[in-house]
Amino acid sequence: MVLDRKKLLITAPIDFLPELKETIQNETDVLFSYGADHDQIKYLLKGNAFDGWMVAPCPTYFIDKELLDLCPSLKIIATPSTGSNHIDVSYLLERGIKLFTLKECDVVSQILASSEFTFNLMVSVVRKIPCAFQSVLEGRWRDAESSLRGRELHGLTLGIIGFGRIGSNLARYSHSFGMKIFAYDPYVIIKNPDVIQYGCLNEMLPEADVIAVCVHLNQETFKMVNDSVFSLMKDGVYFINTSRGDIVEENDFLKYLMNGKIEAAGVDVISDELTSDINDNILVKYARKSNNLIITPHIAGITYDSERKAQTAAYNAIKDYFNK
């Protein structure tokens, strides 16, 4: 159904989805502007009466009152992501602008990229795969084996904090590799017989060889993984975070990386990644000179398959909103 030529701004990546792009062009008056910076977005919002905006899931700017007030006609924002920390949600409510995220969409259960990436990041950390590759690039072969010796997943205990879509998928993948699975989530009753659910996080932490953080960022989870949590983890623990950087207190995280309590870690996120120069981040600085921290640039959800599902769902949400 055509959207009566509603005017849309799309800053989500979509050029690699030619069929969806053609559909949107046929059904709407659309302006594609993926990669636009903050000043360019200000110019576009001020100069066009957009009805809807499909935003990038990880923009280099925060979608706040300053930007939104430039476009009084805006009625809906759709983000092809489960998270919304790149958007001033409270101001959307104040303005009466509808917000769509994948968190409220059935298709999210079919998006596996972040779950698969979390598992792969865990394997990379435990088996020191990036370090092994770097060793080859530096001209070393088996002479470096003593520094590259890792662990088998089989027999290790995985403690998952947050048992939603990603946490439950991670449990399933990891159990098939012979890991023992513990999980903590006060909002979920876990029915998987292969998972031992803990009612208290502090009781689970000392029992796990690997800790994976799989929670949404909100007021309750902001900086929840701090000194009080790290201090209870087993000595030599592996730590994985693919949720949001602001869930972790990075100064505390760095302390335990440096003193060896955390054997190695892998994160796909860092704090303030939308608003700061990553070169100033303390974890990035540490990773440049250390071999026990892997950092990837928030790419867990980036696959052709997952983004096709996500972008299609976001556009369909805009269509459904205007076709009611």
Q: What is the mean pLDDT of residues 190-199?
A: 97
**What is the model's pLDDT at position 249?**
98
Residues 252 and 309 in one domain: no
Which range among 48-52, 94-98, 140-144, 212-216 shows the weakest confidence by mean pLDDT?
A: 140-144
Residues 118 and 215 in one domain: yes
CA distance 9 to 154: 48
pLDDT digits (tens, 9 = 90+) for 163-182: 999 999 999 999 999 999 99
Residues 136 and 70 in one domain: no
Q: What is the mean pLDDT of residues 298-306?
A: 95
pLDDT digits (tens, 9 = 90+) for 240-266: 999 999 999 999 999 999 999 999 999
**What is the model's pLDDT at position 227?**
98
> pLDDT grade, residue 85 (50/70/90)?
confident
Residues 63 and 202 in one domain: no
Residues 144 and 219 in one domain: yes
Average pLDDT, the chain: 95
Asked if residue 1 is part of any domain, the answer here is no
Asked if residue 318 is part of any domain, the answer here is yes
Residues 25 and 67 in one domain: yes
CA distance 55 to 57: 6
Determine phi and psi for 87, rounding to 5 degrees.
Answer: -130, 140
C-beta of residue 266 within 8 angstroms of C-beta of residue 121: yes
Q: What is the mean pLDDT of residues 5-24?
A: 96
Asked if residue 249 is part of any domain, the answer here is yes
Q: What is the mean pLDDT of residues 62-80?
A: 97
**Closest-CA residue to 40 (of 56, 25, 23):** 56
Residues 272 and 183 in one domain: yes
> pLDDT grade, residue 1 (50/70/90)?
very low
Strands 7-10 vs 29-32: parallel, antiparallel or unpaired: parallel
pLDDT digits (tens, 9 = 90+) for 122-166: 999 999 999 999 999 999 998 888 899 999 999 999 999 999 999
Residues 285 and 255 in one domain: yes
In the chain, how many domains are there? 2
Range of the domain at 69: 7-108+304-322
CATH number of the domain residue 205 falls in: 3.40.50.720
Asked if residue 32 is part of any domain, the answer here is yes
CA distance 162 to 201: 10
Asked if residue 242 is part of any domain, the answer here is yes
Residues 116 and 176 in one domain: yes
**What is the model's pLDDT at position 60?**
87
Asked if residue 2 is part of any domain, the answer here is no
Asked if residue 74 is part of any domain, the answer here is yes
Judged against a pLDDT cut of 60, whether residue 3 lies above it is answered with: no
Asked if residue 223 is part of any domain, the answer here is yes
Residues 104 and 118 in one domain: no
Residues 58 and 165 in one domain: no
Residues 210 and 313 in one domain: no
CA distance 254 to 240: 14
Judged against a pLDDT cut of 70, whether residue 30 lies above it is answered with: yes
